[in-house]
Every structure is written in structure tokens, then in C-alpha cells.
């Protein structure tokens, strides 16, 4: 244990004696740790969406403690931007946008056991509901 006593009770709130996380999720390992702050946010985003090898995997590691939620503007590898909303641990709405591509791009999108292939031109977006059913593309 980095702090000999219960850190919730005895440690200073700013974490100067033991390090850790503040309520705003900033890392407090003395001194202020920028790499820790960025690393934590990267881990949280990877729990919501992963983008590796031409695959956008939606909610691959959603914690049980987050049954409902949403995230907007997640930038993914390959020039994609994703907005998502989930309830009871299942995707309710997913928007995939082709942001930085110069030409039409194709990616696979996986949510649970369902995988689809999506091709969008620059500036287009696709809106999906549960089980990746929905509008497969269009201009904003």
C-alpha cells in the first residue's frame, strides 16, 4: 500500500503524500503527471471503442458499473469519428463519420456478434441503432 494508513481517510486530498487520482481523474503522483492523465483517458476510450486493423469495435470492454452512457467525438484510427450512446450495456445509437479521408474509406464495424462493412466518402456519416441496423450513409 503506497500510504501506510487508509488514503481515503488520512491522505491529503491533492495526493502529495501518496499519489493517486483526484475526483476529476487527474493523476497526482508528485509532481503532476501529464502522461498519467493522457494514459488514463486513452484507457477509458479503449473500453468504449477500439480501432485497430480497419475494424471499429464498439463497446468491447464496457464496465458493468457503466450500464448507461454516451460519448461524442471519439477520434479513431483511419480518419473516423464516432459518437455513441448505450443503455443497459447495449448500443442504442452509433454515428460513424469519415472526417479526414480524401477519398471514400471502408471499415468494418463490430458491435457484439454483429459485424458490418461500411464505406463512406469524406464528410459522410452513417447512423445506426441497436444491432447496427440503420442508415448506412449520407452527407451531413
Cβ atoms of 107 and 81 closer than 8 Å:
no
Which residues have a Cβ under 8 Å from the Cβ of 69 and sit 6 or more positions away?
85, 86
Q: What is the pLDDT of residue 13?
A: 57
Render pLDDT for 18-50 as a digit per residue (tens, 0 to 9).
567 777 777 776 666 777 778 778 889 999 999
Nearest Cα residue to 55 out of 119, 117, 136: 117
Render pLDDT for 54-65 as a digit per residue (tens, 0 to 9).
999 999 999 999
Strands (E), 12-140: 49-52, 55-58, 69-76, 80-87, 90-98, 105-111, 114-120, 125-128, 134-135
87 bridge partner residues = 90
How much is the pTM? 0.77
Which CATH number, 3.40.190.10, 2.60.40.3500, 1.10.230.10, 2.60.40.1180, labels domain 49-135? 2.60.40.1180
Higher pLDDT, 52 or 16: 52
Amino acid at each position: 500500500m503506497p500510504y501506510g494508513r487508509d488514503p481515503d481517510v488520512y491522505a491529503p486530498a491533492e495526493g502529495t503524500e501518496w499519489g493517486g487520482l483526484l475526483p476529476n481523474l487527474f493523476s497526482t503522483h508528485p509532481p503532476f503527471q501529464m502522461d498519467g492523465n493522457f494514459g488514463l483517458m486513452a484507457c477509458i476510450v479503449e473500453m468504449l471503442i477500439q480501432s485497430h486493423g480497419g475494424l471499429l469495435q464498439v463497446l468491447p470492454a464496457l464496465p458493468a458499473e457503466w450500464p448507461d452512457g454516451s460519448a461524442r467525438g471519439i477520434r479513431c484510427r483511419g480518419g473516423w469519428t464516432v459518437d455513441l450512446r448505450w443503455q443497459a450495456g447495449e448500443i442504442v445509437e452509433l454515428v460513424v463519420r469519415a472526417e479526414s479521408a480524401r477519398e471514400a474509406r471502408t471499415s468494418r464495424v463490430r458491435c457484439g456478434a454483429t459485424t458490418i462493412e461500411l464505406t463512406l466518402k469524406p464528410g459522410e456519416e452513417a447512423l445506426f441503432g441497436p444491432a447496427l441496423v440503420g442508415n448506412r450513409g449520407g452527407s451531413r
